[in-house]
DNA sequence: CTGTTAGCGCCTTCAT
DNA sequence: ATGAAGGCGCTAACAG
């Protein structure tokens, strides 16, 4: 059995109140008694029972994280950023995944309620957000990569999905590409919608025809989409995958079909995952400061936790992204520009 | 404020004990009162305060997960497997990372103590284990991919690091390779040591000379190791990376050096990460059932939690792994076999 | 069957 | 400056 405050008090020959006081510094204690208590604490290796603390309405020290899933580099990067910042703040993460649907989401939020001091939610699927607003869990909430909504009583941390793809498309155009295809992400995902929007606007702006292919956020989806790409005539000279995984699938399929990248077709992705620097060829993509965004969200909710009745308004931060040009794209061959 | 058991009792016009009884089925309750209680519970959207439960020595519902870090596909796969099984068991994960050193490890374990019903620890660094044995947290513990130790009062879930590399090396030998190099993982990591051992034994067995290069588990390490490989004369016809990331780094560097894979040199990895099926060329590797191992560990600790004073002995499971031959390896060119 | 009571470990008035 | 007592939400003996 672990030691309780009573054990410490007995060993130090004082009352539990005194122990509590030296531990929390809530009011002055004589130096001699304080020393005794501290000694007893060390000897017994005492630590307050967190359950008792949270029963008293104190902090639990936990930060809840709700993710649609935890698979893949994007989320592992995110989790990494969250965890790092949480550690810095002396807090721990309570992670719960696979909440794509509203109902699951609600259940998870309820389960976490009372066990965490704040919630960080990554809910790209529009549907989840309404669920989120339902949760009146009382603790501060931050949303990540979520459609902003002024009605939402929470901070929102996004990155520039729209601008990223728009700039990426613009880069390809500058390189002489005219037939640029886009493999779409999941239709329900807000970030995917934003990205297509960026593509369309860039194509419109250059007076070029948009060519969209159904896809998804997985390597499998990208792989499958390649077939449609290959069947086109004339074939696009460049293709943008909805995210890096999609682009990786695209490259893999193209390689299998003996279509040279970037020789015959330029390929690019989105997210800037660490692995994209090591693919063959290295992938041109849009770098998103995922870890940094996660860390910001943590720092934000932590400050909200400590915030007294300070009605600081909710913020909506949009992190800038940067186009990273590598070897999977190349200027369009002049003669290919039929 | 959320509803308490008192609110429910008042609304239903019964005592709190009755509410507790219908909720826990601890003893019979009249149907009419039961109905009233149930109605009140629903109306108030009542859920027991987890802090109160755990203060009473009940379960918290949490499973603590201690990882060295959370970055990379290996850990995201693992986490995925853990989370899935935890959800199935109606439990949630409390994740804490970056505990490579003993001291950090101890701190994390202490912090998690009392907030979780069990602990799952991935501690490939030998050092951490001693720390782990120190933790007398009272809750069941399961170790993942850790040097087995009979003194350890915990279940251990490993996979066949040794046999995997031995078989992989054997496969290359069968394909005619004679000069096979190995890029080592981190020296302190138990699994890395096991893998080199598999390589050495296989080379010894075939009466071939082992050629080892310092490396690591990261893409960067693999990338850097390639320089040494390239400087060798005669150059090896095949190389094994300590893990998939290392192999990916190797492939990337080889590509940059204009050395064809597998044309001039065969490359393989270890872990069987999802992404290895989509690299160019697709990577030959050793598939490890990571998710499955994680799930098993969760199921195990959950059953230990529910286990009464049942002194079931600690188990050490070693999951089999399988060599997956893909396009990054090819039979050795006869003329290359100087 | 059901209501009352005593804690679980801790912090916080309230007295002293 | 310090000890005693109340109570956070809940379950598990106790009485009826």
Digit-coded pLDDT (tens) for A299-315: 999 999 887 666 689 99
Residue A18 C-beta-side C-alpha neighbours within 13 Å? 21
The answer to whether residue A37 scores a pLDDT higher than 90 is: yes
Q: Cβ–Cβ of B55/A52 closer than 8 Å?
A: yes
Mean pLDDT across chain A: 90
Q: Cβ–Cβ of B93/A95 closer than 8 Å?
A: yes
Closest CB to B70 among A47, A80, A252: A80
Categorize the per-residue pLDDT at A98 as very low, low, confident or very high, splitting at 50, 70 and 90.
low
Q: State the nucleotide closest to B29 in CA–C1' terms.
A: C1
Which is higher by pLDDT, B308 or A90?
Answer: A90
Residue B137 is predicted with a pLDDT of 65
- How far apart CA A20 and CA A76 sit, in angstroms, is 40
Residue B1 is predicted with a pLDDT of 65
Q: Most distant CA pair in chain A: distance in Å?
A: 92
Task: Show the beta-strand stretches assigned E in A61-179.
Answer: 62-66, 92-96, 118-122, 141-144, 155-159
The answer to whether residue A276 scores a pLDDT higher than 90 is: yes
Strands A322-324 and A62-66: unpaired
Rounded percentage of chain A residues whose pLDDT exceeds 70: 91
pLDDT tens for the 338 residues of chain B, in order: 689 999 999 999 999 999 999 999 999 999 999 999 999 999 999 999 999 999 998 888 899 998 887 788 999 999 999 999 998 998 989 988 766 666 667 777 777 778 899 999 887 775 655 555 555 567 888 999 998 887 778 899 999 999 999 999 999 999 999 999 999 999 999 999 999 999 999 999 999 999 999 999 999 999 999 999 999 999 999 999 999 999 999 999 999 999 999 999 999 999 999 999 999 999 999 999 999 999 999 999 999 988 766 668 999 999 999 999 999 999 997 655 54
Closest CB to B51 among A61, A70, A114: A114
Copy the structure tokens of residue A206. 């250059």
Q: Cβ–Cβ of B111/A71 closer than 8 Å?
A: no
Residue B68 is predicted with a pLDDT of 82
- How far apart CA A314 and CA A312 sit, in angstroms, is 7
Instruction: Residue B81: name the closest of B145, B163, B147 by CA.
Output: B145
Closest chain A C-alpha to B274 CA, distance in angstroms: 9
Partners of residue A255 in chain B, C-beta under 8 Å = 280-281
User: Separation of CA B56 and C1' C7 in angstroms?
Assistant: 9
- How far apart CA B322 and CA B292 sit, in angstroms, is 14
Residue B59 is predicted with a pLDDT of 84
Residue B320 is predicted with a pLDDT of 98
Helix (H) or strand (E) holding A10: helix A5-12
Residue A205 is predicted with a pLDDT of 98
Categorize the per-residue pLDDT at A102 as very low, low, confident or very high, splitting at 50, 70 and 90.
low
The answer to whether residue A247 scores a pLDDT higher than 80 is: yes
User: Separation of CA B6 and C1' D6 in angstroms?
Assistant: 18
Cis preceding linkage at A234, omega within 30: yes
Closest CB to A278 among B69, B93, B219: B219
- CA end-to-end span of chain B: 79
Which residues in window 40-69 of B are less than 7 A from strand D by Cβ?
A: 46-49, 52-53, 55-56, 58
Q: Cβ–Cβ of B50/A114 closer than 8 Å?
A: yes
User: Separation of CA A17 and C1' C15 in angstroms?
Assistant: 14
The region of weakest confidence among A251-265, A280-294, B83-97 is B83-97
- How far apart CA B172 and CA B183 sit, in angstroms, is 15
Pair B168, B194: CB distance under 8 Å: no
Residue B127 is predicted with a pLDDT of 60
Helices B5-12 and B31-44 cross at an angle (nearest 10°) of 130
The answer to whether residue A337 scores a pLDDT higher than 60 is: no
Partners of residue B73 in chain A, C-beta under 8 Å = 72-73, 76
Say if residue A207 is exposed, middle or buried (CB neighbours under 10 Å; 0-12, 13-18, 19+).
Answer: exposed
Residue B124 is predicted with a pLDDT of 72
- How far apart CA B330 and CA B326 sit, in angstroms, is 9
Pair A87, A63: CB distance under 8 Å: no
Exposure string for A101-135, b = 16+ CB within 10 A, e = fewer: ebebbbebbebbbbbbbbbbbbbbbeebbebbeeb
How long, in residues, is chain A? 338
Show Cβ contacts of residue B8 under 8 Å, excluding neighbours closer than 6 positions. B16, B19, B37, B40, B41, B44, B46
Residue B158 C-beta-side C-alpha neighbours within 13 Å? 22
């Amino acid at each position: 059995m672990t030691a309780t405050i009573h054990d410490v008090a007995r060993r130090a020959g004082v009352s539990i109140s005194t122990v509590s006081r030296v531990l929390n510094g809530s009011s002055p204690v004589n130096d001699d008694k304080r020393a005794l208590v501290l000694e007893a604490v060390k000897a017994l290796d005492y630590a307050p029972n967190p359950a008792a603390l949270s029963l008293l309405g104190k902090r639990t020290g936990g930060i809840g994280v709700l993710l649609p899933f935890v698979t893949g580099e994007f989320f592992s990067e995110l989790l990494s950023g969250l965890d790092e910042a949480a550690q810095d703040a002396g807090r721990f993460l309570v992670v719960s995944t696979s909440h794509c649907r509203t109902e699951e989401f609600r259940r998870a939020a309820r389960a976490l309620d009372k066990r965490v001091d704040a919630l960080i939610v990554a809910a790209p699927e529009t549907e989840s957000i309404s669920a989120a607003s339902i949760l009146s869990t009382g603790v501060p909430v931050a949303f990540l990569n979520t459609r902003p909504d002024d009605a939402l009583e929470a901070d929102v941390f996004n990155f520039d999905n729209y601008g990223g793809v728009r700039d990426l498309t613009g880069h390809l155009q500058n390189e002489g590409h005219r037939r640029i295809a886009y493999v779409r992400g999941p239709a329900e995902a807000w970030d995917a919608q934003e990205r297509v929007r960026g593509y369309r606007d860039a194509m419109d702006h250059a007076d070029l025809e948009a060519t969209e292919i159904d896809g998804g956020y997985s390597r499998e989806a990208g792989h499958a989409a390649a077939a449609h790409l290959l069947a086109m005539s004339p074939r696009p000279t460049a293709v943008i995958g909805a995210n890096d995984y999609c682009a990786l699938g695209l490259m893999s399929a193209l390689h299998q079909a003996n279509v040279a990248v970037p020789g015959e077709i330029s390929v690019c992705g989105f997210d800037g995952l660490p692995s994209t620097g090591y693919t063959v060829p290295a992938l041109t993509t849009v770098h998103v400061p995922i870890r940094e965004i996660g860390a910001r969200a943590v720092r934000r909710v932590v400050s909200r936790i400590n915030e007294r009745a300070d009605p600081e308004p909710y913020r909506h931060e949009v992190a800038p992204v940067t186009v990273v040009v590598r070897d999977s794209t190349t200027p369009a061959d002049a003669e290919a520009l039929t």
